[in-house]
Chains A and B, each alone.
Chain A
Amino acid sequence: MSLSEQVAAVRGSVTVSTGEHLVCARVAGGDAHELLDRVSPRQLFVRSGQMLHTLLLDDAAKPLADVYICCDEDDYLVVAEGMTGGELAAYLARHAQGLAVEIADLAQSHAFLCVDGPYAWELIADITTPDIIGVPYLSFFRDDRFVCFRAGKTGEYGYDLLLPRDRVGATRDQLLSTGIRLDVRAAERDALDLAALEAGFFNVRKQVRPGLTPVELQLQWRVSAGRSYPGSAVLEQHRKSPRGRVAMIASVRELPIDAAIELGGERVGSVLDSGWSHTRDEAIGIALLDVAVSHAGLRGFTCGDIAVRTISSPAINNRSLYVDPQRHSFAARDKVDFPPLVRPSW
């Protein structure tokens, strides 16, 4: 199935994909909270069953991983993108000196399946219980087969299932067969990455460069001021004098990664990420721009011979904003007058 068909399924029905980009570690022991509090750039206020979306930074405040810190009664689960399971466990262990904690790299034994789309909740309800439609965003629950995290990075309903590796194949088959009535599609990571780009989600595997911190990456909501954590001192320096700021861009063709962006013949930035948005029928991307021109709605930029403009994030008008599990269903989707997937361009 083509990339455009996969993205269309993310936007219109439901997709199932393997979550090889995700790993998980369990932190147990009396000082588990203390360890997570040490490494979390964001104030660690999370109740059991809830997830905190933040980052793991190195000492230069560069994002190493895009993480959810999940409170699991007395333990914590750390779901991370951007690190291997071994790297995640080693990072946590490095900051655990003097603490009574046990760190288990679950990537050795477990893997993820990801279910995304405006009707993803219907598929998860079909294989679990209808009660899941009440599970709030950034919370998780247990089934006897898996842990289900309500998250996702496509702007649509998203559920990441953590399950033993030997059950992945059978569970994937069950999702694909049960989801036939929902027009379920298998999706590759490229399609999910493109959907995340459209929805304005940070991609730690593609958009990080040396010297860039959450300040430049517009990720300051993922960190809290006045806390001490890896990279916090450097981050404060960047806050006073940022090295640019990312902006979403659009163009008629995809742009080469790391190519220069110019304005009036002067270099004002570079391309961090770019892809063809089938939803918008144009290329979109992320550019690091000088702060003075890192505003949405600007025209006149060029990348080589390609005209570039900045746009507001997110680049699409997600269908899931308008799908209410209490009132809607995939079967009755044609009876609802949903707005277009792209906001009007003024």
Chain B
Amino acid sequence: MQLPDPETLLSEITTKIKNNITANTAIVGIHSGGVWIMERVLANIDQTLPYGTLDAALYRDDYAQRGLKRSTQPANIPFDVQNKDIILIDDIFYTGRTTRAAINELFDYGRPASITLAVLINRGGAELPIAPQIVGATILITPTQNFKLSQSEQGTLALALENSQDANHV
């Protein structure tokens, strides 16, 4: 399969995010890939927006089966969530469970006016009535396959397709 260049996808979603910015917009990245993308988006728009990061680990629905992952990152939401138009950024959209957890976490900071989900890739396979509004590309892959986004020291994004025995829900 010919994989798209994640840098191209990034500039596409950056343009779409720009068009969505309101007077009350704040941006939130989900660890780790969503935070990398958020940092690049913020660097490429010519205005300052409130932003934050979260790791939805404390809200995940697989805690009872899997426990806490080892590298849970602290959430950092330094702005008031109340009445904000939040653009939530993740790298790959799959089951929708991470998004569900992130939405729940955001609501524990306040009541946002709206939440828009932006992702680099929608890989198909949603298990919940949740879908991203801003998408770089839709590429359907099977449950044994997995997109892995990585970041170089300079911040450049790279994309790989992995095959695994275990259908990991990331």
Are A and B associated in one complex?
no
